[in-house]
Structure 1
Amino acid sequence: MSVQAPGPLGYHTLEAFKSASKAFYNSSTNDKKEITDWFKYNDENLKPNEYFGIFKNKNVIFLQIESMENFVINHKINGKEITPFLNKLTKQCLYFNNFYEQNNGANSIDCDFMINTSVYPLGDRITATNYGENIYQNSLPRLLNNIGYTTISTHAEEHGEFNWTELHKNGFGAQDLWSIKDYNYDEVVGYGLSDKSFFTQLSEKLKNVKPPFFLQMPTLSSHGPFNIDNKYRQLNLPKEIDESYLGGYFESLHYTDSQIELFFNKLKQYNLLDNSVIVIYGDHAGVHKYYNDSIQKLDFDNNWWKEYDHKLPLIIYSANAPAQNITASGGQVDMLPTISYLLGLDKSLYKDTSMGRVLVNTNRDATIIKGNNIKGTIKDSEEEKHLLDAYSIGEKIIKDNYLSIDTKKEH
Structure 2
Amino acid sequence: MENRPGINYTTLFLAIVILKIMLVRFVIFHKVEIYHTFIAEIGFVLIVGVLIESLPRIMRKIGVLTANFMFSLILFSTLIYNDFYGTIPTYQSLAHVGQLGAIFETIKAFFNPIYFTLFLDIFVLIIMMVMNKELFMPKFKMKRLYQYTLLMCSLLLIFGNTYIVHSEDIKNEKVLVEKMGISNYQLYSAIKTHTKETVEVSSFTNEKVNGIKGLDKAYPKKWLGIAKNKNLIILQLESFENALVGLKIDGIEITPNLNKLAKENLYFPNFYQQVGIGNTSDAEFAVNTSLYPFGPNAMADTFGNRDIPSLPKLLSKFGYRSATFHTNDITFWNRDEMYPMALGFEKAYDKKFFGDKDPIAFGSNDEILYAKTLEELSKYQKEGKRFYAQLISMSSHSPFIIPVEKQKLRIGRKYDGTMFGDYVKAAHYADFALGQFISGLKEKGLWDTSLFVIYGDHSGVQSTKEIDMKLMKEAFGRERLPHEKFNVPLVIVSPWNKEGQIIDIVGSQVDIFPTVANLLGVSADGQTYMGQDLVNSKSNTVGIRFYLPTGSFINNDVVFIPGTKFEDGTAYSLKTKRKVQHSLYKAEYDKVINLYDLSDKYVETIPLSKK
TM bucket normalised to smaller: 0.7 to 0.9
Matched, 1:319 2:475: no
Whether the 8 Å contact between 1:97 and 1:327 is mirrored in structure 2 is: yes
1:241 pairs with one of 415, 426, 430: 415
Q: Does 1:304 align with 2:477?
A: yes
Match of 1:216, SS state, is: strand
Q: Cα deviations across residues 56-81 of structure 1 (Å, max 9, x unaligned)?
A: 11111111010000001012111100
1:74 aligned to 2:251?
no
Contact 1:328-1:366 within 8 A present in 2 as well: no
Gaps of 5+ in 1: 7-19, 407-411
> 2:513 corresponds to which residue?
336
How many Å separate the matches in 2 of 1:62 and 1:277? 8
Q: CA deviation at 1:51?
A: 1.8
- Give the Å deviation of 1:164: 1.0
Distance in 2 (CA, whole Å) between partners of 1:400 and 1:299 is: 44
Q: List runs of 5+ in structure 2 lacking aligned partners.
A: 1-94, 100-190, 558-583
- Which of these residues, 234, 256, 259, is aligned with residue 433 of structure 2? 259
Q: How far apart, in 1, do the equivalents of 2:195 and 2:586 lie?
A: 34
User: Matched residues in 1 for 2:476 and 2:447: separation?
Assistant: 38
Please give the residue correspondences for 1:96-135 in structure 2 after superposition, counting only pairs within 5 Å.
96-135=268-307
Q: Distance in 1 between matches of 2:206 and 2:501?
A: 34
Q: Does 1:202 align with 2:341?
A: no
Which shows bigger deviation, 266-275 or 41-50? Answer: 41-50
What residue number does 1:9 align with?
none
Change (3 A) 1:317 1:234: same
Contact 2:318 2:522 in 1 (8 A): no
Counterpart Cα distance in 1 of 2:244 and 2:442: 26
How far apart are residue 229 of structure 1 and its match?
2.0
CA distance, structure 2, for counterparts of residue 361 and residue 369 of structure 1:
22
What amino acid is the match of 1:363?
A: K
Q: Does residue 366 in structure 1 map to residue 541 in structure 2?
A: yes
Check conservation: 1:98, 1:311, Cα contact below 8 A.
yes
Is the 2:239–2:456 contact (alpha carbons within 8 Å) kept by the matching residues of 1?
A: yes
TM-score by length of 2: 0.59
What is the CA–CA distance in structure 1 between the aligned matches of 2:224 and 2:250, rounded to whole Å?
41
How far apart are the structure 2 equivalents of 1:155 and 1:299? 30
* Root mean square deviation, CA, Å: 2.9
State the secondary structure of the residue aligned to 1:148: coil
Matches within 5 A, 1:8-407: 25-28=196-199, 32=203, 37-42=208-213, 43-137=215-309, 139-209=310-380, 210=383, 211-287=385-461, 290-293=462-465, 295-298=468-471, 301=474, 303-304=476-477, 306-307=479-480, 309=484, 310-322=486-498, 323-350=500-527, 353-370=528-545, 371=549, 372-377=551-556, 381-401=586-606
2:303 & 2:526 partners in 1: Cα distance? 24
Larger RCO: Structure 1 or Structure 2 (Cα < 8 Å, ≥ 6 residues apart)?
A: 1
Q: State the Cα deviation string for residues 302-327 of structure 1 (Å, max 9, x = none).
A: 65274250210001114344511111
Structure with greater strand share of residues: 1
User: Are the aligned partners of 2:266 and 2:493 in contact in 1 as well (CA < 8 Å)?
Assistant: yes
Q: How many angstroms does 1:292 deviate by?
A: 3.9
Moved more, 214-223 or 360-369: 360-369
Q: CA deviation at 1:405?
A: 8.1
**Secondary structure at the residue paired with 1:91?**
helix
Letter in 1 for 2:489: P
The range that moved more, 156-165 or 67-76, is 156-165
In the alignment, residue 469 of structure 2 is paired with which amino acid? Answer: Q
Q: Which amino acid aligns with 1:357?
A: Q
Q: Partners of 2:199 and 2:609 in 1: how far apart?
A: 19
Give the direction of change, closer, same or farther, for the CA distance of 1:220–1:23 in structure 2 (3 Å limit).
same
Of the structure 1 ranges 388-397 and 202-211, higher mean CA displacement relative to structure 2 is found in: 388-397
Per the TM alignment, residue 238 of structure 1 is displaced from its structure 2 partner at its CA by: 2.0
User: What secondary structure sits across from 2:489 in the alignment?
Assistant: strand
Highest CA radius of gyration, 1 or 2? 2
In the superposition, the TM-score normalised over structure 1's length comes to 0.86
Q: Which amino acid aligns with 1:254?
A: H
Cα offsets for 1:118-177 (capped at 9, x unmatched):
00111232121122111113x100110000001111221222111112111111111111
Which structure shows the bigger proportion of residues in helix conformation?
Answer: 2
- Contact 2:224–2:519 under 8 Å retained in 1: yes
In 1: Cα distance, 2:431 partner to 2:490 partner: 14
Task: Give, in whole Å, the separation in 2 of the partners of 1:256 and 1:3.
Answer: 28
* CA shift in 2, pair 1:131/1:45, >3 Å: same
184 and 297 in structure 1: CA distance in 2 versus 1, 3 angstrom threshold: same
Question: What is the letter of the counterpart of residue 520 of structure 2?
Answer: L
- Change in Cα spacing, 1:390 to 1:300, as seen in structure 2 (3 Å) is closer
Q: Distance in 1 between matches of 2:235 and 2:98?
A: 32
Deviates more, 1:89-98 or 1:32-41: 32-41
Tell whether the 8 Å contact from 1:39 to 1:354 is kept in structure 2 after alignment. no
Q: 1:241 to 1:36 in 2, by over 3 A?
A: same
Structure 2 SS opposite 1:291? coil
- Which digits, 9 at most, give the CA deviation of each residue in 1:61-117, with x for residues without a partner? 111010000001012111100000111111111111100011123200110110010
- Read off the aligned partner of 1:66 and give its amino acid letter: E
Aligned length: 386
